[in-house]
Structure 1
Amino acid sequence: MRVLTLILYKLAKRCRFALGFNPAEGAAPNHKKEAAEKNMSTAEQREQIAHRQAILLDLLMLILVVLDLSWIAFDQIFGIKLIREQLFDAFLPQFSSWYFEEVHQSFLLYESTIFGTFFIVEISLRWVWAIWKKRYAKWFFYPIVHWYDVLGCIPLSSFRVLRFLRVIALLYSLHKWKFINLYNYSLFRLVIHYYNIAVEEISDRVAISLLEEAKIEIRRGTPLSKALAQDVFRPKHAELTDWAAGHIQAGLQLHYHRHRYEIQAYLKDIIEEITHGNKELKQLQKIPVLGKSIQQDVEQAVSSITFGVIDRLTTDLANKEHLVVLETTVAAVLEVIFQMSEHSKGEKDNLANDLVIESVDLIINRIRKKRWQEVEASWKA
């Protein structure tokens, strides 16, 4: 109750700003605000007026609900015979006698007439407003969504407890209107934290259960390679081509020049190994005087030509001007892969199922990680 009183005090203080009253200037008009309102369009002015009216209505209902709950709490305490005799009869005998005879005996009638009428009228007006603004898909959805408001109007003690939920809903509504910031209160932050824990635990269990069922269906069903190729990858053929070609080109730009000389040395060793075993080139050694030199020149020429072609091809593919060539090559390769996947059979077909199941397992492992534990660990750090 102390926290609620503090919140109400701050609400009353901020209400002066919501009405356009500037405490620093007293009752004097706020010329800057008037100038800003003149520059607003008619729609913006209407929206601002509706915003203020909604805030004022929520404030009014919050005050009424708090007063009603305070009165209910007082009457419940007054109804305890020991407290009434030892406290009220002893110190306020006239008030105690009058309240017991006139109010306490007919408390349900008075409370329902004074506050219950306001609550019923307010809910009816909000319901009509929701229908007019088409807030929900069906006209009867409002009382279902705001069930605690409807049941709280029933004049029974078991239902009047639901008005505490109304207080929470009104405070949260003012929070959404950015009239107050509930995160400034440690109690609210604590409640939200445990609420998030409950939501995360429930949603994680539901998600894991659904994914486990999906794995069972994948194992029971037909192989997925054909379905993946036709329904998933083929419609994204162009996007996959652009993505793969872009990454290949970026990789060539980044790594080729770093390892250019290593590639050249590797090609030279391979060519020397092949040419040394070539019978035709061995015949060149039989040429008097110049045979060995000619053989070395031929090997060097073959090595230079081969590396030159590869170097030029790789450099061109790494150039953005030749991206179309790379995309055409990647598109052709992907098309071959799609066709093979659509007509694959046997073990290769089951590979797609295994990949999907392993991907689902990876998602399940991610879901099993408790984010709220990480949040609490960050608080302790």
Structure 2
Amino acid sequence: MTQKEPVKKSKYHLVDPTSLSFKLFLAYDIFMVFIIIFNLFCLGMNFFLMSSIGSWFFHTIHLPAVLDFYREHLHPWVITTEAWFIVFLIFELLVRWGIAIAQRHHQRWFFFPFIHWYEILAIIPHLRFLRLFRAGVIAYRLYEMGYQIFPKSWQDKGLFYYRVVMEELSDRVVITVLDGLKHELNTSTTHKDLISNIVQHHREMFSQVLAEILQENLSRELRADRERIAKNVGVIVNQAIEDTPELTQLLRLIPLVGGRIEQQIQSIGQRLGENITHGLIDPMAEPAQSSSSQPNLYADIAQRISRIEIENNAHLDELVRSAVFESLEAVRKQVKVKQWQEALKEQQPD
């Protein structure tokens, strides 16, 4: 039975939804969202109606009287309302700042204007669009409380386009960085110092990895072929004795037992070759463990290899350059894959 993942709780999960303070808080947030959107709508329509495009539109539909009525009677009211709304935003901001100080919402009393910077800038007439940002913050806070502000389909669509934008931006940044890094490696020689520093810093790790590779692979092969190698060496020693005519001639001078001695020497030589071979292979086929007092042959070999100087080695430089460039190209190809296109294909019906 799989363990259920813990449910992610928002910072408002301890708020009592039945309390009066919570209901007032909720009503105030909804009210602020409404008046901000209404205010921006009125300002947007005022901008359109007072522009030359609005004048052209109403003359085109033959309703210039409606436009004149708005400009004469409603436009001053919109300007006055905007002035009063700015005063309301200033007063509301100061009141909330005072409440934040009294209830210690932040570690320092002067943190409030920095945290709510967008609200302060939204008071400036030319930055009115930031009021919509505040409405979005309030809507997100209501969403964290569990209220369905927008339909699920709208949320999914908005999240999809947000990911599209972020992926395109991040892909451009990553590709530019990779191209710059590739150009730097092609046009400078600093990468040689970088390679040398990397090797110097990882000599001990390189030695350990090399010893483990040798011990795991070479010792396994030696254990598997130990008997065959020993027999082959024994046969070679026996053949070497047979191919020594001086020894054969000397033994044949001994009457009766010369041939027998020759056979014994060949047998002893073959057994000696096998034993010597076993003695040479055993330390490598069965390497000493870390707890043993005997030294580990592979560890000693790896340490000696790791101490070899690698500076001015053209083949090593070419190897590292090839590995780095292929890695960069692989990352570049992966970054160029449009994940949002793959997600869009999966959402489309067959």
The verdict on a shared fold, with TM-score over 0.5 as the criterion, is yes
**Post-superposition offset of 1:288:** 0.5
Trace 1:173-322 onto structure 2 (pairs within 5 A). Answer: 173=141, 178-180=144-146, 185-222=152-189, 224-229=191-196, 231-246=197-212, 248-249=214-215, 251=216, 256=219, 259=221, 262-268=224-230, 270-272=232-234, 274-275=236-237, 278=240, 282=244, 287-292=258-263, 294-317=265-288, 319-322=289-292
| Larger of the two Rg values belongs to structure | 2
Who is 1:49 aligned against?
none
Tell me how far 1:334 sits from its aligned partner.
Answer: 0.9
Q: Deviations over 1:252-276 (max 9, x none)?
A: 5xx855x566322541365256436
Distance in 2 separating the partners of 1:179 and 1:366: 38
Which amino acid in 1 is paired with 2:273?
V
Residue 302 of structure 2 corresponds to residue 330 of structure 1 = yes
- Cα separation, partners in 2 of 1:69 and 1:352, compared to 1, 3 Å: closer
Q: 1:324 to 1:236 in 2, by over 3 A?
A: farther
| Structure 2: distance between partners of 1:108 and 1:22 | 40
- CA deviations on 1:98-139 (whole Å, 9 max, x unpaired) are xx99977413322441x4334334556669987937869xx9
Aligned CA distance change for structure 1 residues 118 and 271 (closer, same or farther; 3 Å): farther
Aligned residues of 2:122 and 2:129 also touching (Cα < 8 A): yes
Separation of aligned partners in 1, 2:329 and 2:78: 61
Query: Could you tell me how far apart the structure 1 residues matched to 2:179 and 2:198 are?
Result: 22
Structure 2 CA distance for aligned equivalents of residues 281 and 311 of structure 1: 29
Equivalent residue for 2:337?
A: 369
When normalised by structure 2's length, the TM-score is 0.63
1:171 aligns with 139
C-alpha distance after superposition, 1:143-176 (max 9, x if no partner): 4xx3xx44533457xx54543332223333556x
Q: CA separation in 2, counterparts of 1:244 and 1:133?
A: 59
Count how many residue pairs are aligned between Structure 1 and Structure 2: 304
The amino acid across from 2:189 in the alignment is T
Tell me the CA shift for residue 203 of structure 1.
1.6
In structure 2, distance between residues paired with 1:347 and 1:242: 23
Separation in structure 2 between the aligned mates of residue 199 and residue 110 of structure 1, nearest angstrom = 38
1:204/1:368 contact within 8 Å kept = yes
Q: Distance in 2 between matches of 1:74 and 1:354?
A: 62
CA RMSD in angstroms, aligned pairs only = 4.9
Q: What are structure 1's unaligned runs of at least 5 residues?
A: 1-13, 28-51, 83-99
Contact 2:234 2:269 in 1 (8 A): no
Q: 1:310 to 1:75 in 2, by over 3 A?
A: closer
- Distance in 2 (CA, whole Å) between partners of 1:56 and 1:329 is 76
Higher helix share: 1
- Aligned residue identity for 2:240: N
Given candidates 120, 138, 152, the residue that maps to 2:122 is: 152
Shift of 1:64: 0.8
C-alpha distance 197-377 of structure 1, shift in aligned 2 (>3 A): same
Q: If the length of structure 1 is used for normalisation, what is the TM-score?
A: 0.59
Q: CA–CA distance in 2 between the matches of 1:18 and 1:63?
A: 23
Q: Distance in 1 between matches of 2:184 and 2:33?
A: 52
